[in-house]
Amino acid sequence: MVTCSVLSLFKNPSTRAETLSFRVEPNCQIIGSFNGLLCLYDYDGDFRLCNPSTRLTSKKSPHSFWSRQDITHFGFGYDQVKDKYKVLIAIRALNMTKVHTFGTNSWTTIQNPIFSESGDKEGKFVGGTMNWLNKRTGSYGNWAIVSFHMEKETYSEVLLPPKHDGGNKHVLDVLSNCLCFHYFDESHWVLWLMEKQESWTKLMLIPHNRICNFRLFFHPLCISGNGDVLAKCLDPQLVLYNANKGTYNYPKLRGWFRPDMHIYHESLVSP
């Protein structure tokens, strides 16, 4: 595993990535990060938590018995009321969601809402909820956000920004601790931010006509106080956009080998 300070990237796009002594096994996938903890999923179907700062890992979850092909949706988040970390997986064939609370020895079962094959697979955690873009069954071009409340362990639906049902290359992310919904039109990526419950604000327009790969893959990772947006895309791997100047920069992470990137905050939290 290698790390790089986000602040250093904003100041110096050619910052070198640092290698940690903490090693993530090649068969593990990072499926989420919160409070300085990473949730890892291996090919054997087991989950565990790790803190790269302290080099500590938790015990593995009880075996889930489902392969990656069986899991249609998943997510990792935090129940603030009970001070517990949870991972959930949705199994389409069984039409149910399995939830594991780390520190326990079991999975609980919850009935699924109807997930579509066109929706997100990886959930976005923010404000105590896990969220996925999901196409409503039996409709064409009609999308919404399926939201899972981590403490209550219940599903609900959140509407997209007004007069929009998903658009082209629509994506759900987390930016500034808020849900961020974005899509592209003929010349721009359009970013919306949900700063209050189900209240959307158009954040900015990012022109993509200069770089065609923006049309294929664009995920904002974070935004600075002066309006710089750091995002990952296909090629180059990272792009830094200054909204005030309308300029682009392309950070090069020398020493970066893994294709997946996650923002995490260093902490001493025990997994």
Map out the domains of the chain with their CATH numbers. 2-249 (2.120.10)
pLDDT: is 186 or 52 the higher one? 52
Handedness of CA 94, 96, 101, 104 (dihedral sign): negative
Average of pLDDT values for 260-268? 81
* pLDDT for the residue 198: 75
> Are the C-beta atoms of 231 and 216 separated by less than 8 Å?
no
Of 265 and 124, the one with more pLDDT: 124
For 173, the 3-state DSSP assignment is: strand
Q: Is the pLDDT of residue 12 over 90?
A: no
pLDDT at 140: 45
Residue 44: what pLDDT? 78
Residue 38 has pLDDT above 70, yes or no: yes
- The Cα 244–Cα 22 span in angstroms is 38
Question: Taking the complete model, does pTM exceed 0.75, yes or no?
Answer: yes
Asked if residue 211 has pLDDT above 60, the reply is no
Bigger pLDDT: 137 or 217?
A: 217
With bands split at pLDDT 50, 70 and 90, how would you rate the model's confidence at 2? low
Residue 105 binned pLDDT confidence (cut-offs 50, 70, 90)? very high
| Cβ pair 125, 78 in contact under 8 A | yes
The H or E element containing residue 10 is: helix 6-11
In the prediction, which pLDDT does 17 show?
53
Q: Which of 175, 248, 256, 260 is nearest to 213 (CA)?
A: 248
Question: What's the mean per-residue pLDDT of the chain?
Answer: 80
**CA–CA gap between residue 90 and residue 62 (Å, rounded):** 16
3-state secondary structure (DSSP) of residue 92: helix
